[in-house]
Amino acid sequence: MAVSVMSVESSIHDKIEIEYSINRSSFFRLEFVFCLLLTVDALVIVLSCLVSGVGYHLWMGVHVAEILPLCVVGSLASLIYTFRMNGSGYYEIQESAKPRLEVREILVCWFTTGLLLALIAFLLKIGATYSRGTFVVFYLLSPIALLGARKIVKTALAQAVDRGAIGGRDIVLIGEANEMAALKRGDLLALCGAPDVSRFVLSRDDDELTRSSKDVRVISAAANFVRRHNCRLILIALPWRDVARIELVKDQIKMVPVAARLLPDMSVRALSDLTWLERKRVPAIELQRTPLSVAQLFVKRTMDVIMASFALVFFLPILVLTAVAIKLDSPGPVIFRQARTGFNGKRFVILKFRTMTVQEDGANVVQATPYDSRVTKIGRLLRESSIDELPQLWNVLKGDMSLIGPRPHALAHDNYFETVLRDYAFRHNVKPGITGWAQCNGARGPTPTIEHVAERVKLDLWYITNWSLWLDLLILVKTTFEVFRRRNAC
């Protein structure tokens, strides 16, 4: 797999030159590797439970136990074990790719998992359906199977890395030329679990002002690359003593919704050789976290799909009647389409029931105002009741939007608000929503002044920082009452 190299050098036209080559056909996303590692352990535990139950009863010469209780116990054990190991980073590629077998970690986690299972069995009194002999065999067989499976997985991962089947297309490295040159293939594998990453080299100019200007352009190019390729991680390779440059990079990448880590520089790595890196967790400094973890994104997306599907079926009669009413009320299409900015700055087309005689989209979009003459008769009713937003349930199912999130604005308004409000672009770090924390707190409708926008941004950022499933459910309930109040609707 070719190393992705992004280099910036001064030229006559003072442009950024970007060169990269990626073998996409041989690349496995690291999320796939994570799921595979976790699934292997879960299957090993369930199979160990089945083998223990069947084998023990055959050896004792008695009737083979029922399979269902064995599957239940095995599934419960695998859930406890994988949950605990995942919390320690056991399934991360940078840990799984290291040659050392985690014998101590596996044994400690499994034996404590077994004790917890024994406690559950005692409290629920399931000894009659799951014999003590079966449990003892299961308790002793599973760690052997887990250690063997882990060794096989580590060998397979090492071979995959050597072949280039696992790479770092979704990891971006930004840094100084000397620091990046000092990072060898083995270092990167130990630091981030990928031997090859996409590199963006900062300026070598001696003049501080010129260097800073070029650095901003390099980091901007890196941020655009992250957005285009849906990267999951930004690594920063700079001398730790260069605080000003670290702050510059940190400030420039904060609008990108991915994790960012400052790698140990050459001085720090000199204090500990590679054998230490291969055995311990790397002391990278987390400069930025993702707004939502992989697990949180999965929970939120699952809720979106289930509830949006149910809502579309439930509101189907209203959708049909509304479409007919719009067609009879005024000439024009039933659905209004407009480009909006979504997650990570990506564009999408939002769907709404048409409520106005105009269909503005582009550089000039005039917000609706109270008693706006452009709003149709049926359109005013749809706006007051928020029925005009129902087609966005399809945007949710497509994945462009979420049920809950910051409301997306027209592109013309987005571009303006980003120039006057420093934190406005943070709203794009999660998917936009049909409703949000701002809307259920009365910040809905037009934004005639910057103060109105600033208040909405403040509420949206609070939501992003404090997201939880319960908060989303609370917002849905509050939104229902807000719709009946018809506050600020126009």
Q: Decide if 22 is inside a domain.
A: no
Class of residue 329 by CB neighbours under 10 A (exposed 0-12, middle 13-18, buried 19+): middle
269 and 376 fall within a common domain: no
pLDDT digits (tens, 9 = 90+) for 16-36: 434 333 333 334 555 677 788
81 and 134 fall within a common domain: yes
The domain boundary, picked from 108, 141, 162, lies at: 162
pTM more than 0.85:
no
pLDDT digits (tens, 9 = 90+) for 40-95: 999 999 999 889 888 887 787 766 657 787 888 889 899 999 988 887 778 877 67
Q: Could you tell me which residue, 397 or 289, shows the higher pLDDT? A: 397
Q: Could you tell me which residue, 117 or 415, shows the higher pLDDT? A: 117
| Residue 260, strand partner residues | 234, 288
Q: What's the total number of domains in the chain? A: 3
138 and 66 fall within a common domain: yes
- Residue range(s) defining the domain that contains residue 247: 5-10+167-290
Q: Decide if 25 is inside a domain.
A: no
371 and 461 fall within a common domain: yes
53 and 200 fall within a common domain: no
* CA angle 347–416–336, rounded 5-degree value: 45
Report pLDDT for 24. 39
Report pLDDT for 60. 77
The domain boundary, picked from 136, 162, 188, lies at: 162
pLDDT digits (tens, 9 = 90+) for 297-322: 888 999 999 999 999 999 999 999 99
Portion of the chain with pLDDT greater than 90, in percent: 25
Contact 428, 257 (CB under 8 A): yes
Q: Decide if 490 is inside a domain.
A: no
329 and 280 fall within a common domain: no
Q: Decide if 133 is inside a domain.
A: yes
pLDDT digits (tens, 9 = 90+) for 234-257: 999 999 998 989 999 988 888 788
Report pLDDT for 181. 86
479 and 334 fall within a common domain: yes
| Mean of pLDDT over the chain | 80
Q: Decide if 20 is inside a domain.
A: no
- Residue 106 pLDDT > 80: yes
89 and 197 fall within a common domain: no
The amino acid present at 58, given as its one-letter code, is L
Q: Decide if 15 is inside a domain.
A: no
- CA 344 to CA 224: how far, in whole Å? 10
Report pLDDT for 398. 93
Report pLDDT for 252. 86
Report pLDDT for 91. 81
172 and 127 fall within a common domain: no
The domain boundary, picked from 118, 138, 162, lies at: 162
Report pLDDT for 385. 85
Check which CATH number belongs to the domain holding 173 and give it. 3.40.50
pLDDT digits (tens, 9 = 90+) for 343-391: 888 889 999 999 888 776 666 666 666 677 788 889 888 888 889 999 9
301 and 359 fall within a common domain: yes
Where residue 293 falls (left for φ over 0; alpha for ψ -120 to 50; beta otherwise) is beta
pLDDT digits (tens, 9 = 90+) for 218-240: 999 998 888 888 787 899 999 99
Q: Which of 18-27, 233-242, 262-271, 323-332 has the lowest mean pLDDT?
A: 18-27
Q: Decide if 364 is inside a domain.
A: yes
- Residue 8 pLDDT > 80: no
99 and 148 fall within a common domain: yes
Contact 260, 234 (CB under 8 A): yes
Report pLDDT for 251. 85
pLDDT digits (tens, 9 = 90+) for 428-484: 888 999 999 988 887 766 666 778 888 888 898 899 888 888 899 999 999 888 777
- CA 453 to CA 41: how far, in whole Å? 49
Contact 255, 226 (CB under 8 A): no
- Residue 99 pLDDT > 80: no
Q: Decide if 16 is inside a domain.
A: no
Report pLDDT for 190. 65
125 and 154 fall within a common domain: yes
